[in-house]
Amino acid sequence: MKHSGELCFIDSSGNMDRENCRVFLLLTHSCAGGLPLGILLCQSEDEQTIAQGLEQLKQVVGEKGFAGRGHEGPQLVITDDCRAERGALRKAFPKATLLLCSFHLLQAVWRWLWSKESCCTQEKVHQLKHSGELCFIDSSGNMDRENCRVFLLLTHSCAGGLPLGILLCQSEDEQTIAQGLEQLKQVVGEKGFAGRGHEGPQLVITDDCRAERGALRKAFPKATLLLCSFHLLQAVWRWLWSKESCCTQEVRRWLKTAFIFWAPCYLNVARMPTSAMNSDKSFTFSTFGRFADGRGQMFQFGESNLWRFTKYRTNTTSVSVPVRWRREAGSLRIWNQSASPIGRHKLDSPKRKVGPEGPRFDPQLWQS
């Protein structure tokens, strides 16, 4: 085949048997996939051994090998980032052009970044501007037999969450978390959090935990603490099912039914543009609006129970937050410190006001 004289891939695998032999596979491309040109079985991966194997392969295929090119070999050879392998190919096929496989190149770069020889350190995440703007903190328990708590601090990026630090604590009290945050500040130094140093990030999204939020106020007094909508809704749902709530069995049964049947409907509406919501043709939204309007006590119930989150109010002034991370802000549905939902029109604006007064619970946002 003419392809065998144009292009050849070579790849090696080790630890194939107890003798730790190396297997070199030579392939060429075709419409049906890779086709084998030869296999080298070597006891070592040094340049001399591989070169001897290639010379034997040239003798086996003869002058008709590699689409008539014979001992000249293929025109192009795609290899791994291995000096011994590339050196042996230059000796066996001096007229061939050696190229690096993109997969092996990226793999080699990734290994180098994680090696001791690279200049990439864990502090490089703190040099990103996102680390000084927004920080997520979440905790997990029951990690081992000692029931240790793991606190993970992340910042957002186009590639996903990037770790800023990890706290491993034996308890979840405020003093222990505060000590862990102080040690983290000492480790990252003045260059941490995009140069903000001990001031920490501007915004911190947390769980509904008094100890965690109290420790963050001590460690980062200038930071604005926000409640994650997921944890907030989870906390409200748990409270509705607790003994302290005023929900009867009938109300809980209705809440469960509403969640099962109407939550998917509302999620579909949340993805719709404002023009589609105001349109009379929006059957789904209008149906949900009539259903919610008929259950007006639901809004009164939510309004009367917002006092649970008034303890998070502060005397700080309003903060103008630039929403560069529009997708993250839209998915998180960030709540302000009074735990009131921010309107959809504010999520679409380039800047959002987050202050102690906060928007109120408006039933009209739920109606068509």
For residue range 190-215, list pLDDT tens digits in order.
Answer: 888 988 888 999 999 988 788 999 99
How far apart are the C-alpha atoms of 189 and 168, rounded to whole Å?
A: 19
| Domains present along the chain, CATH in parentheses | 3-113 (3.30.420), 123-227 (3.30.420), 230-366 (no CATH)
- Is the predicted pLDDT of residue 19 greater than 50, yes or no? yes
Max avg pLDDT among 143-157, 254-268, 291-305: 143-157
Task: Name the percent of the chain lying above pLDDT 70.
Answer: 65
- Output 12 or 74, whichever has higher pLDDT: 74
Each residue of 259-289: b (16+ CB within 10 Å) or e?
eeeeeeebeebeeeeeeebeeeebebbbebb
Q: What is the tens place of the pLDDT at every residue in 130-177?
A: 889 899 888 887 666 777 888 989 888 877 788 888 898 888 889 999
The per-residue pLDDT for 113 is 65
The per-residue pLDDT for 313 is 40
- Output 311 or 278, whichever has higher pLDDT: 278
Q: Give the pLDDT band of residue 182 (cuts 50, 70, 90).
A: very high
- Is the predicted pLDDT of residue 60 greater than 80, yes or no? yes
- Output 365 or 205, whichever has higher pLDDT: 205
Determine contact, residues 155/125, Cβ cutoff 8 Å: yes
- Is the predicted pLDDT of residue 312 greater than 50, yes or no? no
The per-residue pLDDT for 204 is 92
pTM of the model: 0.42
Determine contact, residues 135/205, Cβ cutoff 8 Å: yes
- Output 346 or 22, whichever has higher pLDDT: 22
The per-residue pLDDT for 365 is 39
Q: Give the pLDDT band of residue 216 (cuts 50, 70, 90).
A: very high
The per-residue pLDDT for 267 is 52
Residue with tokens 């001590």: 218
- Mean pLDDT taken over the chain: 72
Query: Can you say whether the dihedral through the CA atoms of 47, 50, 55, 61 is positive or negative?
Result: negative
For residues 322, 326, 328, 332, the Cα torsion angle rounded to the nearest 10 degrees is 80
Q: Lowest mean pLDDT: which of 45-54, 194-203, 264-273, 308-317?
A: 308-317
- Output 322 or 25, whichever has higher pLDDT: 25
- Output 311 or 174, whichever has higher pLDDT: 174
Determine contact, residues 128/194, Cβ cutoff 8 Å: yes
First-to-last alpha carbon distance for the chain, in angstroms, is 68
